[in-house]
Structure formats: C-alpha cells, structure tokens
C-alpha cells in the first residue's frame, strides 16, 4: 500500500506539509536561518512513535475494559554526536493516571503494541535501540 505527503516551500527554511486534509508547518530554529514558525523535522519522528503506540494502547485497553483518567506519552530520543546527527536510541514513557489501575493489563497492552501492532516502531527497531517504561499515578 502506498501513501504520500506533499511539503511546499514557504520561503526561508519553512515548509507547509499536507497530510490528508491536515496541515503541518515546519521551520528551522532562528540560529540556523529559520523563524520557528513550526516544528523541526526530526522530533516529528518522536511524535510518530508516540501517536502510533498511543493509539494502539488506548484501543487495546478499551477492548480490555480498562478505564483510566489520563495518559501522557513522553518519547525521548538520543541523537548521535557525529554528523548527520540522527536518533540512535529512543525511550517511550507511558504515564497513566487513574484509580487502582491494573498494571498487568497495561503492561500487556504496551507489549502488544510493541511486538505486534506499532508500524512506526517496526521501522525504528531496525535502526536503533528502543526501550519503554510504564508509570502509574494512582488518584
């Protein structure tokens, strides 16, 4: 199956990407000639992973009838020192908030995403070290 996006140059270092019927503005930092009108490209790789595994996990937990109040997914990426600087490591931290949340079921949902469902992870795992952590805030 094919999918595609278009990114149109908007002057200086900025681009406007069309993704389906949504738009994303990309721009560089002021220090390298940009105007910070939008996101840097590289962290979008972290966002792609967060969204992919996040949707898996909420969908699996819904099927398991596990309810939670809040979920924040933090993705930390480590960039190489050598050029071109690129991610050689990422860590996904799932922080759930809720009352008496079942850690075992949450762990199972995360593992299913990691091993079976998340297509972004399936690409990244060929190119870097990936790890994860689950934090549960009981309230």
13 binds a copy of itself (CB under 8 A): yes
Is residue 56 reached through a cis peptide bond, with omega within 30 degrees of 0 on the bond before it? no
Radius of gyration (C-alpha) of the chain in whole angstroms: 17
Shortest Å, Cβ 125 to a copy of itself: 8
138 binds a copy of itself (CB under 8 A): no
Shortest Å, Cβ 100 to a copy of itself: 19
Determine which residue in the list 30, 35, 44, 129 makes contact with a copy of itself, applying CB under 8 A. 44
Shortest Å, Cβ 58 to a copy of itself: 6
**Which of 108, 113, 100, 95 minimizes the C-alpha distance to 64?**
108
Which residues, at least 6 apart from 58, have a Cβ–Cβ distance to it below 8 Å?
71
50 binds a copy of itself (CB under 8 A): yes
Binders in 51-110 for a copy of itself, by CB under 8 A: 51-52, 54-55, 58-59, 62, 70-79, 81, 83-87
b/e map 82-117, b = 16+ CB within 10 Å: eeeeebeebebebebebeebeeeebeebbeebbeeb
Shortest Å, Cβ 110 to a copy of itself: 14
């Amino acid at each position: 199956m094919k999918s595609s996006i278009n990114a149109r140059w908007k002057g200086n270092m900025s681009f406007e990407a069309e993704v389906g019927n949504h738009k994303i503005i990309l721009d560089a930092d002021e220090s390298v000639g940009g105007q910070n009108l939008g996101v840097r490209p590289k962290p979008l790789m972290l966002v792609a992973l967060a969204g992919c595994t996040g949707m898996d996990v909420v969908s699996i937990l819904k099927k398991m009838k596990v309810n939670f109040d809040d979920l924040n997914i933090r993705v930390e990426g480590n960039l190489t020192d050598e050029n071109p600087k690129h991610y050689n490591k990422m860590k996904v931290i799932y922080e759930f908030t809720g009352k008496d949340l079942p850690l075992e079921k949450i762990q199972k949902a995360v593992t299913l995403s990691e091993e079976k469902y998340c297509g972004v992870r399936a690409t990244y795992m060929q190119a870097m070290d990936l790890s994860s952590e689950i934090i549960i805030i009981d309230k």
